[in-house]
């Protein structure tokens, strides 16, 4: 009896590579994939930092980094080396253990999320590539609970930010981390609800399956009716603490936010995690909504290059948009941020989720689709008007109370 | 679409021309009348213009000029007059480049050049002595010190302000030569266009 059949009912990462006997060759391939993903992510973070600075500079009519290497492309490397040699400070009032732990709590989830993203593979077939005579997926692991894994890790990343601020023993980091936990937790709800509609249309949590379904049908961005995609983008931007939702490290108010007290290598770990998260969030968005590596295979020779190319292209569009947002929009006020999260994104995501669920049920039970949709939309509009009414009533009451207090005082 | 206009603006900027110059690799041309470091001028025959009257030191608001006058030796006079400046020092850690010394000077001995990019590394280098300030006795050009960054043509127009604002800056005197010649240049031509005749910068204000 082989190892694979023993573990079959408990399989945590489905991959044709792991069917059958596991020899040293297969372990080697797995190791190669891990190292490849690791270096790919690190190099792309390096390029992303450079790209962001260069693009923002272009949008501001500046030049940006231009001294280190051609077009300043080695600027990130230079900065990294500089940070490495800086003094590593720990404040007197810091909680030393947690202070040292926090950067890794930020960094490790950022790395791990990327391991479930399929970055290539011919999805017009079964989405595999063949290396050294072995058939495998172009992703480090494909757990059947892939998307839950992503949600879990992005929650763990909140701990990194929160503990960093708390353990610094200083007021600005504390304020930054309080903001961070409130923001990331409330936007995670909207993020999860937006992703839940993807489960409904794809019928699977595995990233590989989700991509495969999109190739046979239409991309999830259309299959789920665009709205969850937009909610995902907004909530994702907030989850990343990117502008215009970067209240966590609002320089003008909180110095550096949660990482004010960090310096040297520990600071660079936060910085690395932040940019890595931008890339992985883009990769997740591409996988969930835009068909991942799916795209036409244009040549027979080197056919495996094309899916990787389409994937990179799609991710690049997202990265461009993130930088574009940063160059254009001013930061939200804190109450605006909370309003957007709780009063707009979560209700919209929840309503849309219910609508899609109703349609799925109607399809299963053979109900006529048009009346069901009409009824669903009517119910949602009713709910929306009730919610708006409640919000306006609450606001009116609060204003009246305020006016009374002013009269008395 | 008001919300999205901002995105169009930032996107358009991507393709606009940059105005940044990569200083110090490239420099933009300096205005003719820029107030940089001083020079002590000579007459066309090589005589020094400075007569050691100390008016510049008296008028200096930053107290950065130190002058001592002395009688010209009979056998080898330094300046055409009775006396000459035998010590002349300017401390560039104090100088504010206000040009009052240039206005005060009765003989146009001291003028300001366009040079201002120096990086001396100790305080004694910051004090320019007479030998450093005085123009070269062959060409009449300023002397370059090791810590000064010069580019082609920046050592010209060393008395532009003088010729631009002839007595009290009165435009009716524009174009009238009221200054003496300089070594290497002779009597310099007046700056054109101050009365508004074809000069864009003045815009016909006369």
Q: Locate A34 and state its tokens.
A: 């891990």
| Mean pLDDT, 10 residues at a time, chain B of 206 residues | 81 86 85 87 90 92 93 89 91 92 89 88 92 89 89 81 64 76 84 55 37
The B residues from 11 to 40 touching A (CB cutoff 8 Å) are 11, 13-14, 16, 18-20, 22
pLDDT tens per residue, range A29-88? 888 888 988 898 889 999 999 999 999 998 888 888 888 888 888 888 898 899 889 888
Distance CA A203, CA A245 (A): 32
Q: Is B65 helix (H, G, I), strand (E, B) or coil?
A: strand
Q: Which chain A residues are closer than 8 Å to B11 by Cβ?
A: 59, 324
Distance CA A20, CA A18 (A): 6
Report the residue from A55, A63, A329 with minimal CB separation from B18: A63
Report the residue from A58, A63, A329 with minimal CB separation from B13: A58
* Contact yes or no for A324 and B20 at CB 8 A: no
pLDDT of residue B50: 92
Q: Which chain A residues are closer than 8 Å to B9 by Cβ?
A: 328
Predicted confidence band of residue A2 (pLDDT cuts 50, 70, 90): very low
DSSP H or E run through B90 = strand B83-91
Distance CA A337, CA A331 (A): 9
* Contact yes or no for B10 and A62 at CB 8 A: no
Kindly provide the ipTM of the predicted complex, given to two decimals.
0.71
Report the residue from B6, B10, B20 with minimal CB separation from A62: B20
Residue A95 has pLDDT above 60, yes or no: yes
Beta-bridge mates of residue B110? B40
Concatenated DSSP letters for B96-153? ----HHHHH-TTS-EEE-S---B--SSHHHHEE-HHHHBPPTTT-PPPPPTTB---TT
Q: Which of A380, A386, A320, A390 is nearest to A348 (CA)?
A: A380
Q: Which chain B residues are closer than 8 Å to A66 by Cβ?
A: 22
Average pLDDT over residues A322-346: 87
Q: Locate B88 and state its tokens.
A: 């002349």
pLDDT tens per residue, range A50-65? 999 999 998 888 888 8
Instruction: Report the chain B residue with the minimal C-alpha distance to residue A321.
Output: B7
DSSP H or E run through A207 = helix A207-216
pLDDT tens per residue, range B166-180? 555 666 777 778 788
Distance CA B202, CA B206 (A): 8
Report the residue from A59, A66, A329 with minimal CB separation from B14: A59
Q: Is A39 helix (H, G, I), strand (E, B) or coil?
A: helix
């Amino acid at each position: 009896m082989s190892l694979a059949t023993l573990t079959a009912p408990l399989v945590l990462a489905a991959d044709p590579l792991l069917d059958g006997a596991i020899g040293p060759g297969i372990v080697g391939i797995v190791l190669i994939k891990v190292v490849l993903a690791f270096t790919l992510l690190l190099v792309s973070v390096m390029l992303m930092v450079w790209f962001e600075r260069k693009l923002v500079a272009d949008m501001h009519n500046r030049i940006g980094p231009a001294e280190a290497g051609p077009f300043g492309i080695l600027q990130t490397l230079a900065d990294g080396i500089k940070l490495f040699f800086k003094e590593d400070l720990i404040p007197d009032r810091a909680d030393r253990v947690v202070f040292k732990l926090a950067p890794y709590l930020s960094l490790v989830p950022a790395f791990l999320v990327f391991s479930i993203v399929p970055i290539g593979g011919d999805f017009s077939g079964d989405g595999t590539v063949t290396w050294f005579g072995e058939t495998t997926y172009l992703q480090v692991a494909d757990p059947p609970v892939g998307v839950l894994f992503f949600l879990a890790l992005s929650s763990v990343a909140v701990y990194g930010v929160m503990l960093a601020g708390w353990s610094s023993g200083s007021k600005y980091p504390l304020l930054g981390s309080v903001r961070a936990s409130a923001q990331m937790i409330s936007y995670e709800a909207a993020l999860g609800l937006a992703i839940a509609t993807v489960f409904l249309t794809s019928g699977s949590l595995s990233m590989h399956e989700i991509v495969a379904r999109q190739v046979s049908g239409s991309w999830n961005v259309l299959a789920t009716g665009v709205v969850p995609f937009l909610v995902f983008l907004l909530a994702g931007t907030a989850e990343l603490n990117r502008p215009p939702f970067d209240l966590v490290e609002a320089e003008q108010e909180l110095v550096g936010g949660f990482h004010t007290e960090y310096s040297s290598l520990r600071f660079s770990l936060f910085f690395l995690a932040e940019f890595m998260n931008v890339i992985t969030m883009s990769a997740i968005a591409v996988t969930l909504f835009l068909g991942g590596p799916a795209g036409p295979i244009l040549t027979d020779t080197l056919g495996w290059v094309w899916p990787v190319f389409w994937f990179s292209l799609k991710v690049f569009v997202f990265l461009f948009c993130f930088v574009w947002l940063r160059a254009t929009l001013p930061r939200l006020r804190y109450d605006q941020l909370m309003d957007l999260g709780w009063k707009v994104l979560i209700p919209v995501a929840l309503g849309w989720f219910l609508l899609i669920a109703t349609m799925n049920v109607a399809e299963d039970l053979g109900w006529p689709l048009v009346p069901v949709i009409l009824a669903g939309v009517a119910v949602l509009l009713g709910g929306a008007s009730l919610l708006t009414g409640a919000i306006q009533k609450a606001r009116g009451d609060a204003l009246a109370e305020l006016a009374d207090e002013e009269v008395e005082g | 679409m008001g919300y999205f206009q901002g995105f169009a603006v930032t996107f358009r900027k991507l393709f606009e021309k940059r105005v940044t110059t990569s200083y110090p690799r490239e420099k933009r041309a300096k205005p003719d009348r820029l107030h940089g470091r001083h020079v002590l001028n000579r007459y066309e025959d090589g005589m020094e213009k400075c007569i050691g009257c100390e008016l510049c030191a008296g008028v200096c608001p930053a107290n950065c000029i130190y002058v001592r006058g002395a009688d010209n030796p009979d056998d080898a006079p330094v300046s055409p007059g009775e006396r000459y400046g035998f010590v002349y020092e300017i401390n560039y850690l104090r100088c504010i480049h206000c040009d009052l010394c240039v206005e005060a000077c009765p003989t146009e001995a001291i003028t300001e050049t366009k040079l201002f990019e120096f990086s001396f590394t100790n305080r004694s280098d910051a004090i320019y002595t007479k030998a450093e300030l005085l123009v070269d006795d062959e060409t009449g050009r300023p002397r370059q010190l090791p810590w000064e960054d010069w580019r082609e043509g920046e050592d010209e127009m060393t008395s532009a302000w003088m010729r631009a604002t002839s007595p009290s800056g009165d435009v009716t005197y524009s174009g009238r030569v009221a200054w003496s010649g300089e070594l290497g240049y002779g009597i310099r031509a007046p700056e054109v266009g101050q009365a508004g005749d074809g000069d864009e910068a003045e815009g016909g204000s006369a």
